[in-house]
Amino acid sequence: MELQRQYTPEVLEQYEIDKAKAEAAGVEPNRPPASHVWVKHTGTSPEQNFSTRFFEAGLIEGWLRMVDNGVLGGQEIVIRAECDSGMIDLVYKVKRTPGYYCVSTGDRIPISQTAWASPRRGELASKEAKAWLAARGLPERDYEVTNAYECVLDPDQHESFKKG
């Protein structure tokens, strides 16, 4: 997938002012918030993993949102994008969100907010995962961790924007 952030003229004007002030102070300027993205292509496969950094930046800037798709437990990531034919919403079905998962069953393993947010997450969360597995009679190493939003793009949209 290749996207390019797009900015309003007002935001770019303010950024130039902020950039000059930051450079005068000897610091890096903050990146301005994008209004939407330009979609160059959606890659060679409809499957996409979005990092938490990408996901959070899109949420903060407003060109990405997560919605309930009305299907039990179903979520979608919607990216507001521009293409040659105008503005569109790229709709990705979320398969998995960041977290711990049982390899043999695919079930999400509940991890406490304390363990997930801890600087020692690997140690604390893995203990919770192993306890969850033990309570179900599963091997203690029967888990995996993802730090990405694992998604799949609507097939028709992918066909329209795929690379190559």
pTM of the model: 0.80
List all residues 6 or more positions away from 90 whose beta carbon is below 8 Å from its beta carbon: 39, 42, 78, 79, 81, 153, 154, 157, 161
- Residue written as tokens 């363990």? 115
For residues 109 and 127, give the distance between their C-alpha atoms in angstroms, rounded to a whole number: 11
The two structure tokens encoding residue 15: 């950024």
What is the predicted pLDDT for the residue at 30? Answer: 83
Q: Which of 12-16, 55-59, 132-136 has the highest mean pLDDT?
A: 132-136
Q: Looking at residue 73, what is its pLDDT?
A: 64
The structural domains of the chain, with segments of one domain joined by +, span: 1-96+148-164, 99-146
CA distance 86 to 31: 25
Helix (H) or strand (E) holding 125, with range, is helix 121-135
Is the per-residue pLDDT at 72 higher than 70?
Answer: no
Distances, alpha carbon 24 to alpha carbons 14, 32, 125, 126, 142, in Å: 16, 18, 44, 46, 53
> CA–CA separation, 78 vs 36, rounded Å?
11
**Average pLDDT value over all residues in the chain:** 90
Please report the pLDDT score of residue 162 as a whole number: 84
Indicate the DSSP class of residue 98.
S
The predicted-structure confidence for 34-71, as pLDDT tens digits, reads as follows 888 888 888 899 999 999 999 998 998 889 999 987 76
